[in-house]
């Protein structure tokens, strides 16, 4: 296994439309998936698409950490999952803003409009079909990673550039807001 070099925004590989994987069970695909998981965990990140490691093929890995879920039934924690040649489609019309970062855009975060609920399918390295329905964080990470396969980076999705900034500054501003209004920050109902 190996930790792979991650392409950063500006590298042309991130703007390419990736090609389908001909044989999901091929040894070189298994090796790529194992290396991508190691690279994602090392970064650390919650998702990584093949074009981000300079391989323009349609596959990504992701996970849903317990601390990031919204508590919605479709948004339960999920261990590391591989999707090869995925198809992702929104379920319903609902779109919400979700905070996202990207390993190819280090240090920055933005609130990105994403379908709240999606359905997806793809294959794993055993050639088995993977089917899923997701909401919230889970739905967002799948849409973000799937966008990478079409050469789309999250800044291309932004509708409000005032919600785009350095993660460190956004966290500082959030802390200041919480300190200014601790009751509201704690989620207590208004008096
Ligand atoms: Ni990304």
**What tens digit of pLDDT does each residue of 38-56 get?**
999 999 999 999 999 999 9
Residue 48 CA to ligand 1 centre (angstroms): 6
Residue 175 CA to ligand 1 centre (angstroms): 25
Rounded to the nearest integer, the mean pLDDT of the chain is: 94
Residue 18 CA to ligand 1 centre (angstroms): 14
The terminus-to-terminus CA distance of the chain in angstroms comes to: 56
Q: What pLDDT, on a 0 to 100 scale, did the predictor assign at position 21?
A: 98
Q: Give yes or no: 133 in active site.
A: no
Q: What pLDDT, on a 0 to 100 scale, did the predictor assign at position 23?
A: 96
Q: What pLDDT, on a 0 to 100 scale, did the predictor assign at position 191?
A: 45
pLDDT > 90 fraction of the chain, expressed in percent and rounded: 89
Backbone φ, ψ for residue 73 (5° rounding)? -55, -30
**Cis amide leading into 44 (omega within 30):** yes
CB 13 within 8 A of CB 57: no
Q: What pLDDT, on a 0 to 100 scale, did the predictor assign at position 185?
A: 56
The tens digit of pLDDT for each residue in 127-145 reads: 999 999 999 999 999 999 9
Residue 181 CA to ligand 1 centre (angstroms): 33
Mean pLDDT of the 70-81 span: 90
Assign 190 a pLDDT band (cuts: 50, 70, 90).
Answer: very low
Q: CA dihedral defined by 178, 175, 145, 116, rounded to 10 degrees?
A: 10
Of the residues 28, 93, 94, 145, only one is catalytic, namely 145
182 vs 20, higher pLDDT? 20
* DSSP element (H, E) containing 23: none
**pTM of the full structure:** 0.92
Which tokens hold the place of 126?
Answer: 């055993």
């Amino acid at each position: 296994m190996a930790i792979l070099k991650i392409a950063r925004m500006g590298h042309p590989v991130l703007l390419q439309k990736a090609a389908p994987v001909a044989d999901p069970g091929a040894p070189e695909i298994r090796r790529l998936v194992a290396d991508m998981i190691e690279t994602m965990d090392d970064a650390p990140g919650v998702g990584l698409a093949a074009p981000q490691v300079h391989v323009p093929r349609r596959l990504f890995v992701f996970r849903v950490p317990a601390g990031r879920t919204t508590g919605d039934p479709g948004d339960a924690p999920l261990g590391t999952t591989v999707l090869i040649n995925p198809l992702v489609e929104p379920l319903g019309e609902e779109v919400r803003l979700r905070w996202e970062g990207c390993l190819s855009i280090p240090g920055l975060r933005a609130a990105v409009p994403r379908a709240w609920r999606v359905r997806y399918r793809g294959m794993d390295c055993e050639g088995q079909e993977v089917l899923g329905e997701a909401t919230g964080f889970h739905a967002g990470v799948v849409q973000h990673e799937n966008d990478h396969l079409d050469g789309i980076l999250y800044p291309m999705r932004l509708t409000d550039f005032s919600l785009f900034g350095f993660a460190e500054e956004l966290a500082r501003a959030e802390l200041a807001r919480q300190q200014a209004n601790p009751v509201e920050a704690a989620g207590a109902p208004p008096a």
